A and B are shown apart, each in its own frame.
Chain A
């Protein structure tokens, strides 16, 4: 080699030159350029004017990005997905196809990844779709994309996504909070679910988990709730929406979609029919609301909801302290409400409760809301397996009065109780009664006890 050192130097120089050319070639021919050229070709088809056609064919190839500081993202999907806002590309092959029903979620304001998942910063297909190691948010399968609606629209209903509302309702009524914390409230037997959508983004895993927890989490103390496929799907969609991400004010201002459907729900909740009527159906002390949206502007109606005293001093209408979108929803409902709506609302009204009934009802609500039903069951039947506890399962509460006084039960709710162990040699039982005195007020706990005792009486009565 020493002998041939000059030739070696020459060869190395050529290698260096070729490597430099190779690096430059590698940097200058990314796949997105090919996609853009193909799209320009598609665009130019059928363009009769030769000059315009040439302009389109020779248009500059640039990376396109949507800067979304409010969502803390940068999405470059439109570099290849050039036809998303172009209706003439309805039948174009991917990645050029038109995206129907985009508005108002246009890429310039929302990007793509907040709904679809994927890696917005990337500019090649595999990395951009997020199906690579070390990227936790791959593209969502089609049937789950709408779960992302819940990332911003956290309250009320989302039109077209009943699974979100269903999932949320199932979570609150099936007692999930008994074991899982959500937004700071709940038990500690299972993991905190506040960011579940960010931690577990594989819908298949989540759905299998709801259908039978033990198939994905071995020896999990979570009981099998025997959910139907639809319920499991709804819960999965709800979980996927729980990403707990920081968003700019523009995005968090639409937590609630101001739909007429939600307005109707509010109308019932706030019991407007107690004073008002629609087309004569309802109470007479307040005004007739039929056609009120045609008589007055939306701003006027909004002001009335915010401050009834301003427009009608001396009015007995209370101030309801509703947020902006809730008021919009009410106004949207009133724009379309008819006497038939008022009739149906009246028929669904609950009868007035006595104070005792109200206390029991409040106790029942707390019992469900704080997750007690998760272990003790919707009918207080118990029966959830608790290996190595005496009795082997969570006790039924239907005969609590046989073994405890009401005060003792209140103490147990306040301080918690670890079930006695069957076999000391084996590991401790996974489920236990947590202490609730830091979460519930004394009043709440008394009401729960009232509720439990109301069911005891009924049982003894037979």
Chain B
């Protein structure tokens, strides 16, 4: 009866980590970690399959939340104090410019990584049955990320912020019927002013992060329920032996694959509820390569977290986030550009407001959302999906090209200029 040891064990209740039971309990007795399975297949840990992009996006989000909360101690969402607070962060607050840089560069990073993550999920066919709806949630998370970046863009209240949001909200107002109304709701008025800043601030620090958190929880939960992280099953010698069963299929008995019992192992069984079991079968060859999450999976996640954090820190030490002059509603910079991830949109809008600004983007988003329900090819092997891959690649390339054109090839009056002219003669 050792009171100290009892006290310790009242907090840390698992068996020692040297035992298998301890390693398992480390996962499923821990509120922060228990979304992980106690054991993972080595295939789930392959860097070259997922590139850990989902993790990296999530870690960037965590960096954004921590640095964001820190910045909230010094930032007032009211013009013109907002701009003065940005200057104070840069000149007076200890580590102020470092934290602000970390926040800005993580934001850009998160937009890029969430897009890359979407591409990866597509190219590995990981949206196919039964993961269709998780793809939909992912697209929504992507749009929420863009929303977070857009609302945050206004907060420095400099010329860049003011006019980017003026252009951005004007693009949105072209939506038929609801466009003008949404713009008025967002701005709390007819132009970008005090009300807009406050609303964007509330959206940016409270509403959108809450939505992202809630949907991320669902997103992670579904990954787990759908059989864990994506792995290249088509590379197994007998891929048919590793198949997924649809959740909630009306006749679940018929859905079970016919696999010899001796080679069959149920893995990741959560619970049997109302006769709708959730199974994933593991082939015999994969079973040999199952390892405990502690320490292997967590170790790799830790490396991903560390790589993300150190990259953001390094960039933040050497590159300053921009801050232009105080927002001046009377003086429009020429050209006035939306944030870079909307420049493709602005390029489209410059050709046609309704078609380019509303119809094409709406169709693109709807197409993205529909992918898992339209692509009924059950195979995830790249060789079997050539046209799907080509179509998606085209979509990615068009987006990237539009953004490049909007960034480098458009000068004053949105006229076409050579990139070197544009960069040299800015302002």
Chain A positions within 8 Å of B310 at CB level: 12, 15-16, 19
Contact A123 B91 (CB under 8 A): yes
Please, what's the 1-or-0 string for B301-329, where 1 marks a CB less than 8 Å from any CB in chain A?
01100110110011011000001110000
Contact B95 A24 (CB under 8 A): yes
Minimal Cβ-Cβ distance residue in A for B46: A2
Top 9 nearest A-B pairs by Cβ distance? Answer: A121-B87, A19-B313, A134-B325, A12-B306, A123-B91, A134-B324, A27-B95, A23-B98, A16-B310
Residues of B within 8 A of A (CB): 47, 84, 87-88, 91-92, 94-96, 98, 158-159, 299-300, 302-303, 306-307, 309-310, 313-314, 316-317, 323-325, 427
Contact of A9 among B159, B306, B309, B317 (CB under 8 A): B306
Residue contacts A-B, CB under 8 angstroms, 8 given: A9-B302, A12-B303, A13-B306, A16-B306, A20-B313, A23-B316, A26-B98, A27-B94
Please, what's the 1-or-0 string for A120-133, where 1 marks a CB less than 8 Å from any CB in chain B?
01111001000001
Asked, given contacts A121-B88, A122-B91, whether A27 binds B313 with beta carbons under 8 Å apart, the answer is no
Asked, given contacts A76-B91, A122-B91, whether A16 binds B313 with beta carbons under 8 Å apart, the answer is yes
Chain A positions within 8 Å of B325 at CB level: 134-136
Please, what's the 1-or-0 string for A229-260, where 1 marks a CB less than 8 Å from any CB in chain B?
00000000000000000000000000000000
A225 at the interface (CB under 8 A from B): no
Asked, given contacts A26-B98, A27-B95, A134-B325, whether A121 binds B84 with beta carbons under 8 Å apart, the answer is yes
> Which residues between 4 and 21 of chain A lie within 8 Å of chain B, taking CB atoms?
5-6, 8-9, 12-13, 15-16, 19-20
Residues of A within 8 A of B (CB): 1-2, 5-6, 8-9, 12-13, 15-16, 19-20, 22-24, 26-28, 63, 74, 76, 121-124, 127, 133-136
What's the Cα separation between A114 and B411 when bound, in Å?
A: 36
Contact A5 B299 (CB under 8 A): yes
Instruction: Say how far B315's CB is from chain A's closest CB, in angstroms.
Output: 10
Contact B317 A22 (CB under 8 A): yes
Known A9-B303, A23-B317, A27-B96; 19 more pairs at CB < 8 Å = A5-B299, A8-B303, A12-B303, A16-B306, A16-B310, A19-B314, A20-B313, A23-B98, A26-B317, A27-B94, A27-B95, A27-B98, A76-B91, A121-B88, A122-B87, A123-B91, A133-B324, A134-B325, A135-B325
Chain B positions within 8 Å of A127 at CB level: 91
Chain B positions within 8 Å of A15 at CB level: 310, 314
Query: At the interface, is chain B mostly helix, strand, loop or mixed?
Result: helix
Chain B positions within 8 Å of A12 at CB level: 303, 306-307, 310
Contact A23 B95 (CB under 8 A): yes
Contact B313 A23 (CB under 8 A): yes
Minimal Cβ-Cβ distance residue in A for B94: A27
What's the Cα separation between A127 and B87 when bound, in Å?
A: 11
Contact B92 A63 (CB under 8 A): yes
Chain A positions within 8 Å of B92 at CB level: 63, 76, 121, 123
What's the Cα separation between A5 and B303 when bound, in Å?
A: 8
What's the Cα separation between A241 and B84 when bound, in Å?
A: 24
What's the Cα separation between A34 and B96 when bound, in Å?
A: 20
Minimal Cβ-Cβ distance residue in A for B80: A72
Asked, given contacts A5-B300, A9-B303, whether A124 binds B313 with beta carbons under 8 Å apart, the answer is no
What's the Cα separation between A27 and B102 when bound, in Å?
A: 14
Chain A positions within 8 Å of B323 at CB level: 134
Instruction: Say how far B346's CB is from chain A's closest CB, in angstroms.
Output: 22
